[in-house]
Each structure stands twice: as structure tokens, then as C-alpha cells.
Chains A and B, each alone.
Chain A
């Protein structure tokens, strides 16, 4: 099997990318952060939060900014603030310093304005970049933590693309890596199948409890069942009739590997294997992808029938489709065609090819999401 190469860190798991990241601590600093990132070839996180937030929202803002900064693929961080915001910059700085990751911090107010802050930001980031080693080294497979997901689904998703991700999951786990599966709001109706995949009866019970609870919470908050709003009108137009039918397609991504347990957003897998990540939010696709980045994923694999350009600020997202027409129509956003399965190519042969492709991406080849500079990030709100 191919070796995985990447970058060793002072503390914690190795990364497969050396991204540098500019983080805005508050919406007032967004333009400054964006400008510094653009001029230093860095990724950026801008958002609408960081001030006048309730205590619990402020906590989740801080938690998300801190955890994405700690992602193994991020080689250096520049924190950019206004100076009077709610987000605790000093704590953010010290949490990142704790793992001995290069990090600097500035505020627009202390620098004496936008131009001076921008100059200083560019200088600090370029100094940090000059010290980052770009030499790839052989790293253990246990560093390969991959988030699997689907979105913009169509009739080929359940038939080809998600079973292919399942076969990929099995290969990653067998090789000693980890797979994270989120989208828990998509389990009801298939929870008995998910629970049967648990490594123990206790973990199976936790899965059942989680599904019971997310259905009950949805009903109490909205007065509707999950199945009243899901499948979506688009799903129905595509032929999906009920929530069970949709969830049966969703859970095919887990393959046959035993589920080791349920992680909360921000928790890293304590040992390699297949893990559920408790992401219940029914937000856009980036909600789940961002959740993966907070739990240490260094890569995403995403199936889409209709096609989406989605990427992530902290990792490459490999996108595959079971729809050969979509693959031909959208060649610059889709990485891999799983539609060959519907044309008769075996699942195993296709999964071997996808596994090879994923390892090439892990070792430094660019995914379409990277080529297109799709580096999205959302601060998850609805997590436990």
C-alpha cells in the first residue's frame, strides 16, 4: 500500500497540508483579515459573530475559532481583531501557543489603523511562513482522519456514490485510519442498521438514544416530525418518497466497519476506526464539514448527485458523484466519477481506484476544492 506523507507537528497529530490561516475575531475585523489573507496566500475565517453575543453563543464562537486553529493541517495562525470585541483574543493566542503552533495576534486599534495593521499582519504572517518546513515526511496512517458526507443528492447517491464511500470507509479503517460520519439528523428510520454496526451493545444504545432525542427535540421545538420536512421537495422530485428511504441511502457511507462510539464536535477520535460525530444541525453542507474540521479531520470525502463546489478552510474535500451526466457537466468541481458503477464496473474495483485517489490527495495532490479556492467555514451553533 502507498505510504501517506505529511507534516509532523510539535504537538498532536500530523497534518497533510501546510495551510496558513488568518482568523478574524469579530465581524468588525473581517475586511482586514481578508486583505491580509489575500496578500499572504493564506486561508481566512471571517464571520458575523464575536461581539454582543449571549454567553453560550460567545462560547461556541470561541470554541470553533480555537479548534479550527488547532486542526493538524493548519501550520500557522494570525489572529486579527478590532481591539474592543467580546472574543477573548489573549486566551485564543495562549491556547494555540500551548500546542507550540506558530501564532501571532494584532488588533486594528492598537496598530493605529487599517493600513498599519495590514502591513504588520502581512509582515508577521510572512515571517511565520518563512519558518514552516515544506518537507513532506512519511506519517502513520492513524493521522488520516477523513470526514464523509453527502449533499445535493439525487437518485444515484444511494445507488452508487454512498455505497462507494462505504467501501472507501472500510479501506481507510482497515489501513489504520479514521472515518468520521456526521449528519445524524439523517439517521432516523435506519437507526437500527446503524446501531447494529456498533462495536458494542452500549454504543448501539447510545445511537438509539441519540436518534430518539434528536427526533423529540425537533418535535418540541417546531411542532413537526422530522419526516414532515425531510425528504425535501427536491428529494421528492428526484424520486425519494420517505425519510426512511432517504436515511437508508445516507447510512450506506458507513460501510461495514464497526462504529467505535459517538464523538461530540471538537473531540478527536481516541483511537482509529469509524466514529459518529454528533452533528444534528440541519444546516447547509458546510455545517457538517466545519464540524469535521473541529474534530481533527484532515480530509473530507463528499458525494453529490447534483454537484456542489464545497470545500473547507482546513482540509481538501474530494467530491464524487454517481451521476455520470453531472460529472461531464461539472468537470471542474467534481473529482471522481462513481457513475461507472451504474455502468457495470464493480464496487470493489471502483473503491480501490478511489482509495488510491484519496491517498494521492492526502500526499499533496490538489483536490478540485483546493484548485477552486473553496475554503468554506461556518461556526456551528447547534451542538452539544
Chain B
């Protein structure tokens, strides 16, 4: 996530590496840390927050134009996994 406004073409430091912003990204918005293929999960906070709706390149602005909201699908999967797991293990 951008902590400051980023200009197109700017070099961005994150998690010890450097990438080049392919689009302008406002603070609070997300920038792709690596290439994400269409249909692949978009991960933030260590969990999938959606699915790429088109090819996303490293340095792309990641938002509603290239991410599909799959919350309902995830909810159903989480609930069924929790029920199947049962109370024994954690």
C-alpha cells in the first residue's frame, strides 16, 4: 500500500526491494509487488482480498479496474472449512 502519492515511472522501495510504478498511485492505494495473472488471487494482509480480473504487471495500480470482489466465494469456503474441521484441532 502506498504511504505517499506515487508518480508514474517513480522508483518505489518496499520490503527491501525496488520497483518502478507503471501508473500514478495515490496514498492508501495498492501497487502490485509482482506480476499477477488474470484469475490469480490478489493477496494483502496475507489473505486473498480478490481475484485479478486482467493481467496485472509489477508496478501496476491495483484496484477495482483489475480486481474482482470474490468475498461471497471466500466466505462460503471459510465457513465450510471451519465446519469440516470440527472442534478437535486448531
Binding site for B on A (CB under 8 A): 154-156, 159, 188-193, 195-196, 200-202, 204-205, 208, 211-212, 215, 225-227, 236, 238-239, 241-245, 247-248, 342
Q: Is the Cβ of A159 less than 8 Å from the Cβ of B75?
A: no
Indicate which residue in A191, A193, A245 contacts B75 across the interface (CB closer than 8 Å): A191
Binding site for A on B (CB under 8 A): 1-3, 26-30, 42, 44-45, 47-50, 62-64, 67, 69-72, 74-75, 78-79, 81-83, 86-87, 90
Name 13 extra pairs, CB < 8 A, besides A155-B1, A191-B75.
A155-B29, A195-B78, A195-B82, A200-B87, A201-B86, A202-B87, A225-B72, A227-B69, A239-B2, A239-B63, A243-B71, A244-B71, A245-B49
Inside 8 A of B28's CB, which chain A residues have their CB? 154-156, 238-239
- How near does chain B come to A349, taking the closest CB pair, in angstroms? 20
Inside 8 A of B48's CB, which chain A residues have their CB? 244
Q: Is the Cβ of A244 less than 8 Å from the Cβ of B50?
A: yes
- Assembled-state Cα–Cα distance A227/B83 (Å): 23
Q: Is the Cβ of B1 less than 8 Å from the Cβ of A192?
A: no
Q: Which residue of A lies closest to B67 (CB)?
A: A241
Q: Is the Cβ of B75 less than 8 Å from the Cβ of A211?
A: yes
- Assembled-state Cα–Cα distance A204/B79 (Å): 10
- Could you list 7 A-B pairs, sorted by A, with CB under 8 Å? A155-B27, A212-B79, A227-B71, A239-B29, A242-B70, A244-B49, A245-B49
- How near does chain A come to B53, taking the closest CB pair, in angstroms? 11
- How near does chain A come to B1, taking the closest CB pair, in angstroms? 7
Indicate which residue in A189, A204, A208 contacts B71 across the interface (CB closer than 8 Å): A189
- How near does chain A come to B23, taking the closest CB pair, in angstroms? 13
- How near does chain A come to B66, taking the closest CB pair, in angstroms? 9
Inside 8 A of B90's CB, which chain A residues have their CB? 196, 201
Indicate which residue in B1, B70, B71, B79 contacts A226 across the interface (CB closer than 8 Å): B71
- Assembled-state Cα–Cα distance A225/B72 (Å): 8
- How near does chain A come to B49, taking the closest CB pair, in angstroms? 4
Inside 8 A of A188's CB, which chain B residues have their CB? 71-72, 75
Q: Is the Cβ of A205 less than 8 Å from the Cβ of B82?
A: yes
Indicate which residue in B1, B72, B79 contacts A239 across the interface (CB closer than 8 Å): B1
Known A155-B28, A189-B74, A248-B47: A241·B79 in contact at CB below 8 Å: no
Indicate which residue in B50, B78, B87 contacts A245 across the interface (CB closer than 8 Å): B50
Inside 8 A of B69's CB, which chain A residues have their CB? 227, 241-244
Inside 8 A of B29's CB, which chain A residues have their CB? 155, 239
Q: Is the Cβ of B47 less than 8 Å from the Cβ of A215?
A: no
Inside 8 A of B75's CB, which chain A residues have their CB? 188-189, 191, 211-212, 215
Q: Is the Cβ of B30 less than 8 Å from the Cβ of A241?
A: yes
- Assembled-state Cα–Cα distance A239/B75 (Å): 22
- How near does chain B come to A97, taking the closest CB pair, in angstroms? 45
- Assembled-state Cα–Cα distance A230/B62 (Å): 18
- Assembled-state Cα–Cα distance A238/B3 (Å): 12
- How near does chain A come to B72, taking the closest CB pair, in angstroms? 5
Q: Is the Cβ of B47 less than 8 Å from the Cβ of A342?
A: no
Q: Is the Cβ of B79 less than 8 Å from the Cβ of A242?
A: no
Q: Is the Cβ of A201 less than 8 Å from the Cβ of B72?
A: no
Q: Is the Cβ of A244 less than 8 Å from the Cβ of B74?
A: yes
- How near does chain A come to B81, taking the closest CB pair, in angstroms? 7
Q: Is the Cβ of A192 less than 8 Å from the Cβ of B71?
A: no
Q: Is the Cβ of B64 less than 8 Å from the Cβ of A241?
A: yes
- How near does chain B come to A232, taking the closest CB pair, in angstroms? 12
Q: Is the Cβ of B1 less than 8 Å from the Cβ of A242?
A: no
Q: Is the Cβ of A244 less than 8 Å from the Cβ of B47?
A: yes
Known A227-B69, A227-B71, A244-B48: A201·B78 in contact at CB below 8 Å: no
